[in-house]
Amino acid sequence: MKCMKMQLTGMISRFLIASALTLAWGNALAQDNGFVVDKIIAKVDNYIVLKSELETAYQAYLSEGNPNSQEAKCELFNRLIINKLMVAKAEIDSVVVSDAEVDGNTEQRMGMILQNSGNSPEQLERVYGKTMEQIKVELRDQIREQLVAREMTNVITKDITVTPAEIKRFFNKIPTDSLPFYSSDVEVAQIVRTARVSASQEEEARKKLMDIRERLLKGENFTELAMKYSEDPSAQYNGGEMGYVGRGFMVPEFEAQAFKLKPGEISQPFKSPFGFHVMQLIDRRGNEYNSRHILISAVPSDEDIALAEKFLDSVRTRIINDKLKFEQVAKEISDDANTKGLGGFFTDDDGSTRISMRDIDPVVYLNIDTMKVGNISKPLHYRTDDGKEAVRILFFKTKLPPHVANLKDDWSRIQSAALAEKKDITLDKWFNKARQDVFINIDPAYNSCKILEQ
């Protein structure tokens, strides 16, 4: 039972980290929108937990295919209260996050919300009965709390590690009949080459921005043109306006322009890692500035993609003929930042290079399904997570048969579970001590969760 609770707690912890910055505000129930009336179900000093927050988290938990469980719901409620306690204690202990980080996360999340919902800003306003600015303000408050809670968690657990002896003890205390069963695992690595955009394609993007700049100088509305032409997703709701940010928050090329311009001035087109921009400085106060921009990305041509394929084909030939280590070549030349430092290997949520066939990227799965272990694929054209045209070669290193968890094959997974348990124990101890410093009141309807009795 202890093992099951440990696994449940770890699963919920990961779920909350992944979903903490979702549309919690979107499910805040309002009577005038035809929803159930919301209510406060817990108060931690000046911070509250709404019934809608718990129900939103629980529905998302169920949508992941998890079974209906009162224990899980209570654990989610417990985690929400711990988050509020962390924010309250952070206030006491002067643990803070910067406005720039909060603003950046808010802008990113708003862009993702619009992109994933498929709604226009006008549709989103109709759905929630609020303006985009009101939605953004509410979301910003949620994000600040989540970032503060995350920072407080880091402060509490930053020095926690597990020794090999602790990992073995953790594994040995799990009953044999409770050991997880893993389906077939694989180890797959990649070397990525993003398509280099040719000078002619860059010139085309620059020319498009020059035409837009001319229209701006003739008096056309910046916000309207940003919403129509900018390839920054957030432009659909903010009209290209980035809000006040401090030094070091934006990429250097963007920041340099902001500190060159005078308020109201519109820049010439300039290049950043995201593409080409025109910027208008709205205001600057000390080391903070507010600007708006229009982004146009230069798109690789078919010839640019073909050059990337040719490059990786020659790399593949060299690895095979010269007996080079795929992992070493990946570290030296791969363009994928997430896998490069790991020798090109994909990893699971626990950081293990051995990934369940059920969890591996479907596109990668389809490619290795026709490969033999030890082989390297021919160059494969694909689109990266951030939308760039790229080519990669895949190395199918290992395939393990289905098996019951063991220390030899699953060390990284067991290490992560042992570390998570140790951190959970530390956080529980911290909670029991820290709750003496703040006022906590829980709705009697949730007494069965026995949160304050733990």
- Is residue 288 classed as helix, strand or coil in its secondary structure? strand
Domain stop point among 269, 296, 323: 296
Q: What is the pLDDT of residue 100?
A: 77
Residue 103 is part of a domain; what is its CATH number?
A: 1.10.4030.10
Tell whether 58 is covered by a domain. Answer: yes
Residue 306 is part of a domain; what is its CATH number?
A: 3.10.50.40
Q: How many domains does the chain have?
A: 3
Q: pTM of the predicted model, to two decimals? A: 0.66
Are 8 and 153 found together in one domain? Answer: yes
Tell me the residue range of the domain where 391 lies.
182-196+301-403
pLDDT tens by residue, the chain, 454 residues: 333 333 333 433 433 433 433 434 444 333 334 444 579 999 999 899 989 888 888 888 888 788 888 899 998 998 889 889 999 999 888 888 888 788 878 877 877 777 666 667 777 777 777 787 788 888 888 888 889 989 999 999 999 999 999 999 999 999 999 998 888 899 999 999 999 989 999 999 999 999 999 999 999 999 999 999 999 888 888 899 988 888 888 889 999 999 999 999 999 999 998 899 999 999 998 888 999 999 998 889 999 999 999 999 999 999 999 989 999 999 999 999 999 999 999 998 878 898 988 888 999 999 999 999 999 999 999 999 878 899 999 999 999 999 999 998 889 889 989 999 999 899 888 888 888 888 999 999 998 988 876 5
Tell whether 176 is covered by a domain. Answer: no
Tell whether 175 is covered by a domain. Answer: no
Q: Of all residues in the chain, what percent are helix, strand and coil, respectively (each to 5)?
A: 55, 15, 30
Q: What is the pLDDT of residue 118?
A: 64
Tell whether 174 is covered by a domain. Answer: no
Q: What is the pLDDT of residue 349?
A: 81
Q: What is the pLDDT of residue 454?
A: 57
Q: What is the pLDDT of residue 13?
A: 43
Q: For residue 430, what are the contacts with CB-CB under 8 A and spacing of at least 6?
A: 156
Place of tokens 């290992």: 398
Tell whether 92 is covered by a domain. Answer: yes
Structure token pair of residue 226: 């940003």
Surface-to-core class of residue 177, CB atoms within 10 Å of its CB (0-12 exposed, 13-18 middle, 19+ buried): exposed
Tell whether 177 is covered by a domain. Answer: no
Are 305 and 383 found together in one domain? Answer: yes
- ∠ CA 70-76-82, rounded to 5°: 140
Are 45 and 186 found together in one domain? Answer: no
Are 13 and 139 found together in one domain? Answer: yes
Are 309 and 334 found together in one domain? Answer: yes
Are 14 and 153 found together in one domain? Answer: yes
Domain stop point among 264, 279, 296: 296
Distance, CA of 350 to chain centre: 15
Are 244 and 380 found together in one domain? Answer: no
Residue 157: which of 291, 41, 17, 26 has the closest Cα?
17
- Is residue 231 classed as helix, strand or coil in its secondary structure? coil
Are 379 and 422 found together in one domain? Answer: no
Q: For residue 138, what are the contacts with CB-CB under 8 A and spacing of at least 6?
A: 25, 28, 130
Structure token pair of residue 299: 């798109």
Give the separation between CA 414 and CA 420, rounded to whole angstroms.
10
Are 135 and 30 found together in one domain? Answer: yes
Domain stop point among 296, 312, 347: 296
Are 292 and 317 found together in one domain? Answer: no
Q: What is the pLDDT of residue 116?
A: 67
Are 187 and 158 found together in one domain? Answer: no
Tell whether 208 is covered by a domain. Answer: yes
Are 397 and 444 found together in one domain? Answer: no
Residue 273: which of 252, 291, 287, 293 has the closest Cα?
252
Tell whether 77 is covered by a domain. Answer: yes
Structure token pair of residue 156: 């509490």
